[in-house]
Amino acid sequence: MILQALYNYYQILLKDDSLDIAPPGYSAANVSFALNLSPTGKLLDIFPFTTKFFDGKKERERNYRRMVVPEQVKRAGIDPKSNFMCDNSAFVLGIPEQTEKDKRYGPRRFDVFRQLNIDILSKANSDIASAVIAFLENHDPQTARQHPVIARQLEALLEGGNLIFWVDGQDALQDTEIHRTWEEYKLGQETIKMQCLVTGETEPIARLHPNIQGVRDANPTGASLVGFNERAYESYNRIKGQGLNSPVSQRVASGYGVALNYLLSNQNPNRKIHMGDTTVVYWAESADKRYASAFSAFINPEFLEEESAAGQSTRKKAEKKIGETAEKIQKGQALDVAALREGLDDNTRFYVLGLASNAARLAVRFYLTEPFGVFAERIMQHYEDLKIEKEYPNQPDYLSPYRILAECVSPKVTRRDDEIKSSWSLLGGALMRSVLTGAPYPAGLYAAILNRIRHDTDEEKRSIKINYVRAAYIKAHLLRKYRRQEQNPYEEALQMSLNESYTHPAYVLGRLFAVLEKAQREAIGQNINATIKDRYFTSACASPASVFPTLLRLSHHHIAKAEYGGVSDRRIQDLLNMLDAKPFPSHLTLDEQGVFVLGYYHQRAAFYAKNSNKAEEAAETETA
């Protein structure tokens, strides 16, 4: 299914004139240099390539250019394998990127490159092909470093990168005769023909599948999405038949590789999403790029960590409206769902693929496909579930997965980004899958949030222990957990703001703790080394019976000292009355601990709301 969807998308990309998509038998590669030859094959100069791109802040420069070249080989094993007309300096010039103990390392690779290229180019009736052949026949890798042209660029060449050939400033790869001989060579290779699992047609089968580049933590040279190795992984007695137990044609393998590499590249205007070790790409079964742009806006622009894709300023006018909407989301403004979906067909098939590195191969974290409208509704349901009263007006309305997962990390760690990445590795894929499928959120993430609440302490910043994001996730988690069940025992607690009529002991005790904390603050002031929340919250949340009698005794002292202690005393009595004279629970379940946290958060938010209203009324009176 994945290969078929990617191959279908490849067919769509081929029809897009604005993209340089590699046709069958070719692939896109980063090219850093061009060797400019004379018609007689003499090396005249070496031209470095650069590409300008915008990283979201300023214009930068890369030391390569993305180009379509003859399909590159997959290197595995001891014997060196060469590409045609495009390779690194070790193959093209016999100069390895680093000094090797084996002095034959570079010359051996040059010999392989020379043999392959001369064999293919000798069949081309072209002056350009003749010039490249002459260079390969006369070049000596043993003295290459001393060549004046090479010596000038030697330091840059040793940094790595692919090289191609020019002849008198003309790109050899554009020569029609060279194209013809390469395609004849590619089609003429001895391959086994079988029925392709993707197309159903009898075609030459790919023994090795293409390298995929751009997945986080994978080998920079690429890794396989599909791979077969060793007879232990083969079946049906297909001895020496690598790849034949799941036959995929060369045409399909090349096509899906091109499509996936495009989705993972900076050429794609809709940036890939990083979630720890997982890289997420998404596309629609349509030539209209607005589907992917709208999906990116739904997921929330702040979630996208990857640098801005090159050429974002050249997006088509059809995507401008969606881009403006994405900016509004980033600024916390209302998400206009209707505007994003305007002109788009909700029934268009949409795909989301999550990949992670697994040694030399790629692991599929998740693969989801639904009509576009289904994904849109599920993402909006995710935001709806997270809605809760804010602590401050400038806090975002839409909480990205990155914001939620960042709350699993202690604020004290020095390398916070690495810790967040580690959390994403375990929970990010599961959270993303829950958002896109409408399933309950991962239980591990709920436990991790509660664990941080237990261990964090309020220091310079307010609400480190319990904040807007943590309370919103707890509410959403419990909503989703019980949504598909007949009854939600905590439904009345899972509201936007305080529910003063809800009498569940966990919720009432959470409210009571907030009142006790406020009484302490009114009596002693803000400069407290350790509040009752720092010392007792964890125990109060897990085993109320062991803590609340102590807290109530302390509250008598605080009420006596406070200027408005009588108000706190009445609130405490009202809440104790709601417990119906029952003893404090000896322990609370994990779900009840979440309800306790919500009761505390709602009550505290109600205090802040009253203070804000009083301040506004006072300001209006002074103005009048």
Looking at the domain assignment, is residue 363 inside a domain?
A: no
* pLDDT, tens digit, 9 for 90 and up, residues 318-376: 344 444 544 444 444 455 667 777 888 999 999 999 998 887 789 998 999 999 999 99
Mean pLDDT on 444-472: 81
Highest mean pLDDT among 274-278, 558-562, 592-596, 617-621: 592-596
pLDDT digits (tens, 9 = 90+) for 108-151: 999 999 999 999 999 999 999 999 999 999 999 999 999 999 99
Number of domains, the chain: 2
Domain housing 530: 500-593+600-624
| 482 within some domain | no
pLDDT at position 394, please? 82
pLDDT of residue 78: 77
Choosing from 225, 258, 291, the residue where a domain stops is 258
Residues in the chain: 624
- Least confident interval from 227-231, 353-357, 389-393: 227-231
Integer angstrom CA distances of residue 387 from 171, 243, 466, 470, 603 = 58, 50, 16, 12, 16
Residue 478 lies in a domain: no
Is 221 part of any domain? Answer: yes
- 587-617: pLDDT as tens digits: 999 999 999 999 999 999 998 776 555 544 4
Per-residue pLDDT band at 420 (split at 50, 70, 90)? low
Domain termination site, one of 258, 291, 314:
258
Query: Residue 304 falls within a domain, yes or no?
Result: no
Residue 450 inside a domain? The answer is no
What is the predicted pLDDT for the residue at 236?
57
Is 539 contained in some domain?
yes
Residue 259 has pLDDT above 80, yes or no: yes
At 300, the pLDDT band (50, 70, 90 cuts) reads low
Q: Which of 195, 229, 258 is the last residue of a domain?
A: 258
Burial environment of residue 130 by CB neighbours within 10 A (0 to 12, 13 to 18, 19 or more)? middle
Does residue 118 lie within any of the structural domains?
yes
pTM (predicted TM-score): 0.77
Strand partners, 35: 46, 165
Share of the chain above pLDDT 90, in %: 45
> CA torsion 83→86→87→90, rounded to 10°?
110
Most confident of 221-225, 384-388, 390-394: 384-388
Give the pLDDT band of residue 25 (cuts 50, 70, 90).
confident
Top pLDDT among 28 and 303 is at: 28
Q: How confident is the model at residue 514 (pLDDT cuts 50, 70, 90)?
A: very high
Separation of alpha carbons 158 and 160, rounded Å: 5
Better-scored residue on pLDDT, 329 or 214: 214
Give which of 175, 216, 215, 141 is closest to 422, Cα–Cα: 216
Dihedral pair phi/psi, residue 195, rounded to 5°:
-80, 125
Mean pLDDT of 61-82: 85
- pLDDT attached to residue 90: 92
CB atoms within 10 A of CB 525: 8
Query: What pLDDT was estimated at residue 335?
Result: 58
Average pLDDT, stretch 179-206?
85
